[in-house]
Amino acid sequence: MSKGIEEKGYVYIFENENLPDLLKIGQTKNIENRLINANTWNPSNFECTYALKSEKYKNIENLAHWVFKKDKKAKEFFKVPLKEATVFLQKIVSLGIAEEVDTDLLEDYASKHMSDIPQSIKPVKIKKGLLKRSDNTTFKMLGIKPKSILTIKTDDGIIECRTIDDTNKVSYKNKEYAISDLATQLICKSPNSKASGFQHFIYEGKTLNKRRNDLFAKEASQELNFGDDED
């Protein structure tokens, strides 16, 4: 038996001049009302800079949140360049499973209907404490077990260390380090410089960052099923 056709919804990017460098990436069935409601918050002044419409809007939002997971600061708020987020959604549109929304018309609608919001609605404050960084990447997330060998290229050649837990601790010359602390010690020449261990250490031929991105992409492709519904 075929599955019913899903109702279309929207995935949007909201920007707010009072929240510099942050984008709100979310989904809704009624984008006009979503924009109006967002502007009852404090700070207000949200604008829709890009939006698409699709039957798979929930999956597309999940995919966007997964891709930008490392940039997440709070629920649906991401510290990611506007161009990068927009290009990502435009690529989804190019696959033929979504259509762009005219955000100029959307802004006009929201402006005309802001006066319709009941005065009894109290502004919702966004607490600064909520704008925190998401959990860091761990060895466990990347499928790297304790006692696995990691390598890093330095001026003195290739150096090896071993993972000693599921988070980010490694052993080198019988000493324990956080992976970024060891990377800093091995490759940074300036005392004030710091290095990301996940950017420089390699496991099974890939940097840990590359391994993370590949795993994200694999998970995302499974999450967002582009195929036709099965009978």
For the cut 80, the answer to whether the pLDDT of residue 221 exceeds it is no
Q: Where are the domains of the chain?
A: 9-134, 149-221
Residue pair 54/100 in contact by the 8 Å Cβ criterion: no
Give residues with Cβ within 8 angstroms of 198, minimum separation 6: 137, 179, 180, 207, 208, 209, 212
Task: Grade residue 215 by pLDDT with cuts at 50, 70 and 90.
Answer: confident
Task: Grade residue 109 by pLDDT with cuts at 50, 70 and 90.
Answer: low
For the cut 70, the answer to whether the pLDDT of residue 130 exceeds it is no
Residue 27 main-chain phi, psi, to 5 deg: -135, 155
Instruction: Give the C-alpha separation, 116 to 96, whole Å.
Output: 36
| Closest residue by Cα to residue 100 from 35, 26, 10, 8 | 10
Q: Considering only residues 97 and 149, tell me which one the structure prediction assigns the higher pLDDT.
A: 149
Give residues with Cβ within 8 angstroms of 52, minimum separation 6: 10, 11, 60, 89, 92, 93, 98, 99, 100, 101
Task: Grade residue 110 by pLDDT with cuts at 50, 70 and 90.
Answer: low
User: In the 8-state DSSP scheme, what is residue 207?
Assistant: E
| pLDDT, tens digit (0-9, with 9 covering 90-100), for 145-180 | 999 999 999 999 999 999 999 999 999 999 999 999
**Mean per-residue pLDDT for 123-139?**
45
Beta bridge partners of 150: 161
Q: In which element (H, E) is residue 100 found?
A: strand 99-100
| Weakest mean pLDDT among 43-47, 87-91, 225-229 | 225-229
Give residues with Cβ within 8 angstroms of 75, minimum separation 6: 130
Percent of the chain with pLDDT over 70: 74
CA 166 to chain centre: 22
pLDDT at 113: 52
